[in-house]
């Protein structure tokens, strides 16, 4: 868990380098310690070896669908809050990703909404100190 006076740690999981870098910069400008990876597999390894407060992930990940990614993430003993980004936010996708453990689903084309969702997660009681096993 990040100490209360430290910057909250966010892992951005996005396969498009330009998009990942843009979100990383926006989050850093908003006061977060943001790091990027393009791979769901790498993100799972990073979450196991680092304590992130929030994981911001695209719904499309190469080699690992976001639903499979969230299911694997749910098996880890320590978990960050998860915000899923999509091109749109239908009620079906909201329900689906929330059932898989996402705290929110946002439109990735709305940068303000993305940053707001990450900020809202950081105001909640951290999941990173809750063991699911």
In tens, the pLDDT along 24-67 reads 999 999 999 999 999 999 999 999 988 899 999 998 888 888 88
Q: Taking the CA of residue 72 as centre, how many other CA atoms within 13 Å lie in the half-sphere pointing to its CB?
A: 14
- What is the average per-residue pLDDT within 97-104? 88
Residue 77's CATH number: 3.40.50.2300
Burial 108-122 (b: 16+ CB within 10 A, else e): beeeebbbebbeebb
User: Is-above-0.75 flag for pTM?
Assistant: yes
Domain span including residue 105: 9-122
User: What pLDDT, on the 0 to 100 scale, is given for residue 130?
Assistant: 43
Could you tell me if residue 29 is inside a domain? Answer: yes
For residue 3, tell me if it sits in a domain.
no
Give the DSSP letter string of 20-64.
HHHHHHHHHHTT-EEEEES-HHHHHHHHHHS--SEEEEES--TTS
């Amino acid at each position: 868990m990040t100490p209360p006076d430290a910057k909250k740690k966010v892992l951005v999981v996005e396969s498009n380098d330009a998009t990942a870098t843009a979100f990383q910069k926006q989050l850093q400008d908003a006061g977060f310690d943001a790091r990027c990876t393009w791979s769901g597999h790498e993100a799972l390894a990073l979450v196991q070896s680092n304590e992130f407060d929030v994981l911001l992930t695209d719904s499309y990940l190469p080699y690992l669908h976001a639903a499979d990614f969230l299911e694997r993430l749910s098996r880890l003993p320590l978990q960050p809050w998860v915000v899923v980004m999509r091109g749109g936010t239908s009620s079906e996708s909201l329900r689906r990703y929330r059932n898989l453990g996402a705290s929110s689903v946002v439109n990735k084309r709305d940068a303000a909404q993305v940053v707001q969702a990450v900020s809202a997660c950081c105001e909640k009681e951290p999941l990173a100190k809750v063991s699911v096993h």
